Amino acid sequence: MELPAEAVDAAARELLGWRLTANGVTVRLTEVEAYSGLGADPASHAHRGVTNRNAVMFGPAGRLYVYQIYGMHFCANIVCGEPEKAAAVLLRAGEVVDGLETARNRRPAARRDADLAAGPGKLMQVLALDRAANDTSVVDGTGPATLTPPEGVVGAIAAGPRVGVTSAHDVPWRFWIAGDPTVSAYRRHVPKARRARA
* Residue 17 resides in a domain: yes
* pLDDT cut 70: percent of the chain above it: 82
55 pLDDT more than 90: no
Domain that holds residue 146: 7-177
Query: By three-state DSSP, how is residue 106 classified?
Result: helix
Give residue-wise pLDDT tens across range 155-168: 999 998 877 666 66
91/29 Cα distance (integer angstroms): 7
Which pLDDT value is given to residue 198?
44
Q: Strands of 149-185 (E only): list them.
A: 157-160, 174-177
Residue 27 backbone dihedrals phi, psi, to 5 degrees: -120, 130
* Residue 193 resides in a domain: no
The residue count for the chain: 198
Q: How confident is the model at residue 31 (pLDDT cuts 50, 70, 90)?
A: very high
CB of 116 closer than 8 Å to CB of 110: yes
Which pLDDT value is given to residue 9?
84
| Domain CATH code at residue 116 | 3.10.300.10
171/124 Cα distance (integer angstroms): 25
* Residue 37 resides in a domain: yes
Long-range contacts of 70-75, Cβ-Cβ distance < 8 Å, separation of 24 or more: 73/120, 73/121, 73/124, 74/121, 74/124, 74/129, 74/130, 74/131, 75/120, 75/121, 75/124
* Residue 188 resides in a domain: no
* Residue 196 resides in a domain: no
* Residue 162 resides in a domain: yes
* Residue 2 resides in a domain: no
Q: How many domains does the chain have?
A: 1
16 closest CA partner among 125, 74, 90: 90
Q: What is the CA radius of gyration of the chain?
A: 16
Give residue-wise pLDDT tens across range 100-156: 999 999 999 999 999 999 999 999 999 999 999 999 999 999 999 999 999 888 999
* pLDDT cut 90: percent of the chain above it: 56
CB of 48 closer than 8 Å to CB of 112: no
* Residue 18 resides in a domain: yes
119/43 Cα distance (integer angstroms): 18
196 pLDDT more than 70: no
Residue type, 104: R
Q: What pTM was estimated for this model as a whole?
A: 0.87
Q: How confident is the model at residue 3 (pLDDT cuts 50, 70, 90)?
A: very low
